[in-house]
Amino acid sequence: MNEENQQLNRGLKSRHLQLIALGGIIGSGYFLGTGYVIEKAGPGAFLAYVLGGLIVLCVMYCLGELAVAVPISGSFVKYANDYISPSWACGVGWSYWVTWVSYVPSEMIAAGIIMNNFFPAISSVSWAVLFGVIVTGINIVNVKSFGEMEFWLSIIKILAILLFIGLALLTALGITGEHGFIGTSILLGGGGLFPKGIWAIFLTMVIILVNFQGSEIIGLAAGESHEPEKTIPIAIRNITRRIIALYVIPVFLLVSILPWGKIGLESSVFAEALDSYGFKWASGIFSFVVLTAAISCSSSGLYGCTRALHALSVQNMAPAFLGKLNSNKIPQNATFLSLFGCWVGIIAYTLMGEGIYKNLLALSGFSGAIAWISICWSQLNFRRRLEKESFAIEQLKFKTPFFPYLTHFAIWIQVICLVLMWFNEELRVAFYIGLPLLIIPIVWFYFRGNNKNGYITEVG
C-alpha cells in the first residue's frame, strides 16, 4: 500500500475532538441505563459515578501521554502492539470492536423505540435501520462532516443535562412546587445510601464503565487532529472535568429528588423525576434528547470501532481489505463490516426481547474495560522503556502525574470490576462471552506465526 494514500484525513479541530469524546459517553445508556444502576445499588450509585470519573481521569492521563508522544490514528491498538505484544494488540483490538458492535445496536434500538412511540405505524426496527443508514452516511462521507455533526448533537445533550441540573436543584431546595425543602430526606430515607450494601456499588461498576466509555476516542482521533501536542492535552483536561460535572452532579440530584425504589429501566429516569414534580413537558424534551443521544453515540461508536478495525488491518491482524480507504480517506470497508455487526445485534435484540439489553451493555463494558486496561498497561511499558533507554522524561510534552501509582490504580481497579462481574448473576453471561472474545484472537494471532514487532515508533 502507498503510505501516503493510507493516511487518515486530518480534518478534526480541537472543538470537534472534545465534543466527539463527550458524544461517545453521553448516550441513551446514560439516560436509560442509570436506572438499572440505581435500582441495584440504591442512592449511593452517585458514588459509583465518582469512582467511574476517577477511573476515566486516570485512563485519560495515560492515553494523553501516549497520544501526544506518538500521535497515530487507531492509537491504543498500535500502542498495545508496540509496548505490550502484537498478540495482545490483536486480542484487545478485536475486543474493542466488540465493545461498540454490542453497544451501538442498543443505541439504535433505543432511538427506534422512541420514534415508534411518536409514529406507531412504523416499527422500531424500521426506525433503527433508518438511523443506521444515517449514521453510516455520516461516517463514510467526510471526517470533518462527522466532527461537525457530533459537535452539535453533543451540545443538545449537554444543554439537556444542564436543564435537569437547574430544575432538580430548584426542586431539592423547595424553590419550585409545594413540596418544600427536600434536603436529604429522599437521599437517606429509603434505607440510607447503601440499602443493598456497599458491595452492590462494585457489582454494577461494569455498567458505570459502559456509560463512561467513548472518552478513549480522543486517542483514536489523535491521528486525525491538527497539532495533537496542543489539542489533545486541552481536550483531556476539559473532557475530564466535564465528564465529572455531567455525570456525578446530575445523578446525585436525581437520587435526592426521586426515591430509588421507583427507579428502573422502563423510562428515562431524568424525565420521570422531573415529571413527578410537575414538569410534565420534560418527558417530551428528554425523549428527544435520548433520541439525539442514541444517534450521536452510535455515530461516535461506529467511528471508534472502524478506526480500531482499520488499525488491526494495517498491522496484519485483520484482512487487508479492511485497511483500504475511500477517496475521502475513510476506512469504508471497515465501516461496512462494523455496520453488519451492528445489524446482527439489532436482529438479536428484536428476536430475544429486552432481556438481552443488559447483557449487551455488560459485554460492551467488559471489552471496553479491557481496552482501558490496555491503554494504561501500554503507558506503563512506554515509560519503562524510556527510562531503560535513559530518555529524559522531562522532555515529554504531556506526562501522566503520580507515575506509576496512578497507572497501577487504573489497571487494578478495573481488573477488580471485571472479576466482580462473575458474582452478578444478571451480568455473568457477558463475562463468559467477553473473555473468550478476548482470548481467541490472542491465541489465533500467536499461533499464526505473526507474533513479531509491529511498527517502530518515535517519541514526538
Q: Which of 108-112, 221-225, 227-231, 422-426 has the lowest mean pLDDT?
A: 221-225
Rounded to an integer, the average pLDDT of 346-354 is: 73
pLDDT-based confidence at residue 267 (cuts at 50, 70, 90): low
Q: Per DSSP, what are the bridge partners of residue 225?
A: 12
User: Each residue of 184-239: pLDDT tens digit?
Assistant: 889 988 788 899 888 888 888 888 888 787 777 665 555 456 677 777 777 677 76
When the candidates are 1.20.120.1200, 3.30.360.10, 1.20.1740.10, 3.30.460.80, the CATH number that belongs to 14-448 is 1.20.1740.10
The pLDDT of residue 392 is 87
- Give dist(CA 93, CA 349) in Å, integer: 24
Highest mean pLDDT among 185-189, 373-377, 415-419: 373-377
Residue with more model confidence, 106 or 56:
56
pLDDT for the residue numbered 436: 95
pTM greater than 0.85: no
- Quickly list DSSP for 105-135: HHHHHHHHHHHHHH-TTS-HHHHHHHHHHHH
- pLDDT for residue 177 is more than 70: no
C-alpha triplet 272, 275, 279: angle, nearest 5°: 145
Query: Phi, psi at residue 209, to the nearest 5°?
Result: -65, -35
pLDDT band at 180 (very low <50, low <70, confident <90, very high): confident
Q: In terms of pLDDT, which residue wins out, 89 or 246? A: 89
Contact by Cβ (8 Å): 206, 369: yes
202 neighbors 415 (Cβ within 8 angstroms): no
CA distance 194 to 310: 44
Q: What is the pLDDT of residue 17?
A: 56
Four-residue CA torsion sign, 374, 379, 384, 385: positive
| Stretch among 22-31, 110-119, 225-234, 408-417 having the lowest mean pLDDT | 22-31
d(CA 226, CA 196): 48
Find the mean pLDDT for residues 359-364: 86
Q: Is the pLDDT of residue 173 over 60?
A: yes
Mean pLDDT value across residues 286-300? 75
Contact in structure between 287 and 268 (CB atoms under 8 Å):
yes
Q: Would you say how long the chain is, in residues?
A: 460
Distance CA 297, CA 148 (A): 14
| pLDDT given at position 330 | 75
pLDDT score at 372: 95
Q: At what angle do helices 205-212 and 228-257 cross, to 10 degrees?
A: 130
DSSP letter (8 states) at residue 204 = T
Nearest to 52, CA basis, from 32, 67, 30: 30
Cα–Cα distance measured from residue 136 to residue 133, given in angstroms and rounded to the nearest whole number = 5
Better-predicted residue by pLDDT, 16 or 184: 184
Q: According to the model, what pLDDT value does residue 441 have?
A: 94
Cell of 402: 503520580
Residue with cell 439537556: 160
Instruction: Supply the mean pLDDT for the chain.
Output: 80
What average pLDDT does this structure show over 333-340?
85
CA distance 260 to 281: 22
Q: Under a CB-based contact definition with an 8 Å cutoff, are residues 307 and 120 in contact? A: no
For the segment 433-447, what is each residue's pLDDT rounded down to a tens digit? 999 999 999 999 988
Average pLDDT over residues 34-43: 86
CA distance 66 to 74: 12
CB 8 within 8 A of CB 157: no
pLDDT of 226 reads 66
pLDDT tens digits, one per residue of 61-75: 898 898 888 877 656
